[in-house]
């Protein structure tokens, strides 16, 4: 059987009588790049928090990297990486200190941290900047560093929450090169984005509307199914009918 990195069955999160996430079911394979799309307020963040072991579901089942979201939250956290546009690195620590800090938190040995951080700085071309405060780096560099730090402990899955907001189109593509590379090395990538062209870079995408997964397939199949030329159109057709809107 093909190895599954994430399995969700009828996963639900209820706040009072409000269904933030309403019986969503999907599976993500190992090494897959899975795009998790949805309008503002569709329930993406709530679902992602459950899958990251930060929040309990109200009902349904889910496993992440083989661990159960009800009983094994701590194991989930150890086996995933997480990066968001808003928070990832400490601005007033240096590049090297950030790598050492996150490596240490995730239990990578001192020896390993030293070796891997040298490799990492070289790959990123950041050797000269290793003792600079992260706050002084341009946004594009910060994002690449944040992603590298998120997969530094070689997690099974990395969750990326709108990782590329605001950067120029060249840097945005360099970032995706890194995502492809990570996926090719066997890391499963779970990513949300507002850039619809980036949705096309995913192996499969799901679109959430009002707490439900309304569509899930490869980008090509979705375009065919909705008779659309772009994912932008598919998304628009699905999300236009949304009743909810929130941040």
Partner 1 sequence: MAAVSLENITKTYDNGKVLAVDNVSFEVKEGELFGLIGPDGAGKTSIFRILTTVLLADKGQATVAGFEVVKDYRSIRSRVGYMPGKFSLYQDLTIKENLEFFATVFGTTIEENYELIKDIYDQIKPFNDRRAGKLSGGMKQKLALCCALIHKPEVLLLDEPTTGVDVVSRKEFWEMLKRLKKQGITILVSTPYMDEANLCERIALIQKGKIMSVDTPGNIINSFPTTLYAAKSADIYQLLNDLRANPEIESCYAFGEFLHVTLKDNQNGGADFLKNIAVSKGHSEILIKTITPGIEDSFIRLMNERPEEVRPGN
Interface residues toward partner 1, by CB under 8 A:
38-41, 123-125, 138-141, 144, 162, 165-171, 173-174, 176-177, 180, 184, 194-197, 200-201, 219-220, 230-232, 235-236, 239-240, 242, 245-247
Nearer to partner 1, 74 or 168 (CB): 168
Q: How far is the CB of 8 from partner 1 (least distance, A)?
A: 22
Three-class SS state of 215: strand
Nearer to partner 1, 41 or 60 (CB): 41
The radius of gyration of the chain's CA atoms, rounded to the nearest angstrom, is 18
Three-class SS state of 120: helix
Q: How far is the CB of 180 from partner 1 (least distance, A)?
A: 5
Per-residue CA distances from 234 to 53, 156, 165, 176, 199 (Å):
31, 30, 21, 22, 11
Q: How far is the CB of 164 from partner 1 (least distance, A)?
A: 10
Choose among 221, 229, 228: nearest CA to 202. 221
Nearer to partner 1, 69 or 179 (CB): 179
Q: How far is the CB of 20 from partner 1 (least distance, A)?
A: 14
**Residues whose CB falls within 8 Å of the CB of residue 38, separated by 6 or more in sequence, listed in order:** 44, 192, 207, 208, 209, 239
Q: How far is the CB of 25 from partner 1 (least distance, A)?
A: 23
Nearer to partner 1, 59 or 218 (CB): 218
Choose among 210, 83, 208, 188: nearest CA to 142. 83
Nearer to partner 1, 78 or 223 (CB): 223
**Cβ pair 82, 132 in contact under 8 A:** no
């Amino acid at each position: 059987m093909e190895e599954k990195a994430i399995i969700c069955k009828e996963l639900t999160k209820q706040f009072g009588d409000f269904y933030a996430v309403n019986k969503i079911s999907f599976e993500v394979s190992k090494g897959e790049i899975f795009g998790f799309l949805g309008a503002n307020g569709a329930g993406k963040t709530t679902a992602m928090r459950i899958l990251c072991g930060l929040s309990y579901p109200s009902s349904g089942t889910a496993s992440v990297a083989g661990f159960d979201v009800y009983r094994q939250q701590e194991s989930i956290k150890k086996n995933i990486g997480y990066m968001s546009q808003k928070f990832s690195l400490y601005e007033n620590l240096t590049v090297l200190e950030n790598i050492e800090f996150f490596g240490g938190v995730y239990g990578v040995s001192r020896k390993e941290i030293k070796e891997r951080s040298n490799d990492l700085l070289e790959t990123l071309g950041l050797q000269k900047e290793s003792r600079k405060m992260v706050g002084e780096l341009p946004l594009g560099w910060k994002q690449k560093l944040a992603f590298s730090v998120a997969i530094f402990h070689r997690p099974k899955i990395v969750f990326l929450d709108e990782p590329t907001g605001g950067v120029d189109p060249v840097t945005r593509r360099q970032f995706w090169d890194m995502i492809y590379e990570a996926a090719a090395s066997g890391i499963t990538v779970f990513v949300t984005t507002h850039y619809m062209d980036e949705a096309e870079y995913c192996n499969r995408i799901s679109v959430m509307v009002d707490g439900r997964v309304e569509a899930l397939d490869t980008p090509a199949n979705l375009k065919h199914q909705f008779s659309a030329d772009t994912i932008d159109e598919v998304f628009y057709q699905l999300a236009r009918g949304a009743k909810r809107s929130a941040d």
